[in-house]
Amino acid sequence: MLAFILRRLWQMLPTMLGVVLLVFVLFNWVGGDPAYLLAGKMSSAEAIANIRRQLGVDEPYHVQLLIFLKQIVTFDFGQSWATGETVGHILASRLGPSLTVLVPLTVLETLLGIALALAVGFVRGSLTDRAVMVACTAAMSISILVYIIVFQYGLAYKLGLFPVQGWGDSFGENLLRYAPLPILIGLAVSLAPTLRLYRTFVLDEVGQDYVRTARAKGMPERRVMWVHVLRNAAIPIITHVMANLPGLLIGAFLLERFFGIPGIGREVILAVERSDFPVIKAITVYVAAATMVFNLLTDLLYRAVDPRVQLG
């Protein structure tokens, strides 16, 4: 196990280096000169040169690449070009609000998706199964913006069950007061595609020989589904959940934007609008690193769920 982990960590290095080089090329050659973006259209050549010197973009490319590598190794991406805050402080302060919404959302989505997929598996091929699939297809065809507007207007504004938007300083207040409505909307949007996908995983296992053998031995259908089928369907479910985790931080920007949640997704949108390259580069690199780490954790979870899985 330890040898496998060390080997995978070693294999991450060239991948991470490729990501760093790609980010560096995109931001330094394709992205244009940030000094012109920050200085504005009416600035003089002296002002632009001064800004380039302050940002360090007047250095040769190989020097800028070494500076970028040093920033990654030391976890110090300098200051935001827009606000003057350190990038590390921005990410640290924005991560908590994002996780306050996304962790409960991911847990509820996964548990409900598994439970409903197994329940549908019990009545597979029936009218109930078809009705659930039609409902999922209809739910998937509705834009998340519609969910946000309807839920905000109906549950928050008209019924007063939740605040329309906002965020506080206390974790408990945020989790119990401000986060439930965004979590509910996220669950309404994500549960339909999750249920359809998990149902496919369950039905793939239902037709296997080991399931027929278990039934032939007189094993109750409930035990067949909840023990044998679920255990084997857990492998693709783990893959789906772990692969989506890094992207959730960025993908929740609409919820964070509409509900005033100061999270990572909202910060990315603001950074793009301000051409705040240090923040964008830092988030890009960290999301890439998180993706590789989660891939490693996925392989380890495979072995924990099914000891027959060999880690090569």
Residues 178 and 271 in one domain: yes
The last residue of a domain, from among 21, 41, 74: 74
Residues 65 and 127 in one domain: no
Is residue 49, in this structure, part of any structural domain at all?
yes
At 180, the pLDDT band (50, 70, 90 cuts) reads very high
Check residue 296 and give its pLDDT.
87
Q: Mean pLDDT over residues 51-80, rounded? A: 81
Number of domains in the chain: 2
Residues 139 and 23 in one domain: no
| Alpha-carbon span 109 to 106, nearest angstrom | 5
Residues 46 and 148 in one domain: no
**117 pLDDT above the threshold of 80:** yes
In the DSSP assignment, the letter for residue 27 is I
The last residue of a domain, from among 74, 106, 136: 74
Range(s) of the domain holding residue 57? 2-74
Residues 265 and 128 in one domain: yes
- Are 229 and 61 in contact by the 8 Å Cβ rule? The answer is no
At 184, the pLDDT band (50, 70, 90 cuts) reads very high
The mean pLDDT value of the chain amounts to 85
Dihedral through CA 29, CA 34, CA 37, CA 43, nearest 10? -120
In the DSSP assignment, the letter for residue 178 is I
Check residue 242 and give its pLDDT.
87
Q: Model pTM?
A: 0.84
Residue 24 C-alpha from the chain's centroid: 23
Residues 171 and 265 in one domain: yes
Least confident of 65-69, 139-143, 182-186: 65-69
Is residue 79, in this structure, part of any structural domain at all?
no
Residues 7 and 111 in one domain: no
Is residue 60, in this structure, part of any structural domain at all?
yes
**34 pLDDT above the threshold of 70:** no
Is residue 83, in this structure, part of any structural domain at all?
no
**41 pLDDT above the threshold of 60:** no
Please indicate whether residue 44 or residue 241 has the higher confidence score (pLDDT).
241
Least confident of 109-118, 143-152, 238-247: 238-247
Check residue 150 and give its pLDDT.
94
Q: Which CATH number belongs to the domain containing residue 213 in this structure? A: 1.10.3720.10
Check residue 32 and give its pLDDT.
61
Residues 136 and 166 in one domain: yes
The last residue of a domain, from among 21, 48, 74: 74
Residues 63 and 150 in one domain: no
At 12, the pLDDT band (50, 70, 90 cuts) reads confident
Encode pLDDT of 192-211 as tens digits. 999 999 999 998 888 788 88
Q: Mean pLDDT over residues 259-268, rounded? A: 89
- Are 202 and 117 in contact by the 8 Å Cβ rule? The answer is yes
Check residue 196 and give its pLDDT.
93
Residues 111 and 246 in one domain: yes
Residues 170 and 144 in one domain: yes
